Amino acid sequence: MIWPLSRKSHRRMARIVVEGPINGATRQRVLKALLEVKRREFPALLLRIDSPGGTVGDSQEIHSALMRLRDQGCRVVASFGNISASGGVYIGVAAEKIVANPGTITGSIGVILRGNDLSRVLERIGIRFDTVKSGKFKDILSPDRPLNAEESALLQDLIDSSYGQFVAVVAQGRNLSEETVKQFADGRVFSGEQALGFGLVDELGDEEHARQLAAELANLDQDDIRPVTLGKPRRKVSSLLPGSQIFSQIQQRLSIELMGSGQVLWLYRS
C-alpha cells in the first residue's frame, strides 16, 4: 500500500511506549495509539518496550494489531529498553526489526500459572471454606487446598498450549525454526548481547539507533525525522509527590503479584 505524499504524516514517524506490566490498561492505551498511527497513516513506527511481561490475551491483542499495521505498509522497529522480557518479547517480535541495548534484560520466553496453597495457614487460624460448585474443576487453584494430580495435569496442558503459541510466534517473527527457539525459550533471561547471538534481536543499540533504522526502512530523512509520541500514559498526582518513585516500584511489584494469582502470564519474574 502506498500512502499519498500530500498527507503531512508521511514525513513523520510515530512512537509508542509499552512500559510496565502488560495488562488491560496498557492494552487499551496501546491499541488506541495504534489506531491513531493507522488513521494518520504514519509510514514508520518506533515501538519502545520496557516491560517485564504480562497477561497472555493482552500481549496477543497488541501483537495482532501491530501485524495488521505492518500489513498496511507501516515499517515497525522495536527498541528494547532496560527490560523487555516474556510478554515484552511477544509484542516485540511483531516488529520488522528489533534493536536492543547490549545490557537489556530480555528473554524469559515461557508461561507461568501460579496459585497459592494457604490451607495450613488457614487451618491454624481456624478458617474453613465451604464450596458449592457446578463441576469438579470449578475451584481449581483455590487457596484453601493443594492441587490434586488430575488438576495439575489439566493445568499443565493449558500451559503447554500457551507455550506452544508463544514459541510459534517467536519463530515466525524472527524467521527461526521452532526447535531453534526452544533451545533458548526455557524461561531463562539473557542480555541483549546474548539475544543477538540467539537471533532474537537484529542489532545492538539505543533508542536513537532504532529511530534511525526505522527512518531508513521508511525512506525518511534520518537527520530530520523526530518521532511523535502517541498514547502517553496519564501521570497521576501521586507521581509528583516526594518518594513517589519508591511507591511506584512497590505498586508495580504488587500488580505483578496480583496478576500472578490464578492467571496465565508471560511474565519475567525476578
193-199 LR contacts (CB < 8 Å, sep 24+): 193/102, 193/103, 194/107, 195/100, 195/104, 195/106, 195/107, 196/100, 199/174
Instruction: Look at residues 85, 80, 84, 86 and name the one whose alpha carbon lies nearest to residue 110.
Output: 86
Strand 189-191 to 75-85 pairing: unpaired
Contact assessment for residue 263 and residue 55, using Cβ atoms and an 8 Å cutoff: yes
Instruction: Look at residues 72, 62, 75 and name the one whose alpha carbon lies nearest to residue 26.
Output: 62
Q: Which amino acid is at 72?
A: Q
Residue in the block written with cell 506452544: 164
Contact assessment for residue 85 and residue 248, using Cβ atoms and an 8 Å cutoff: no
CA distance 208 to 12: 15
**Residues assigned a catalytic role:** 86, 138
- For the purposes of burial, counting CB atoms within 10 Å of the CB of 192, is it exposed (0-12), middle (13-18) or buried (19 or more)? buried
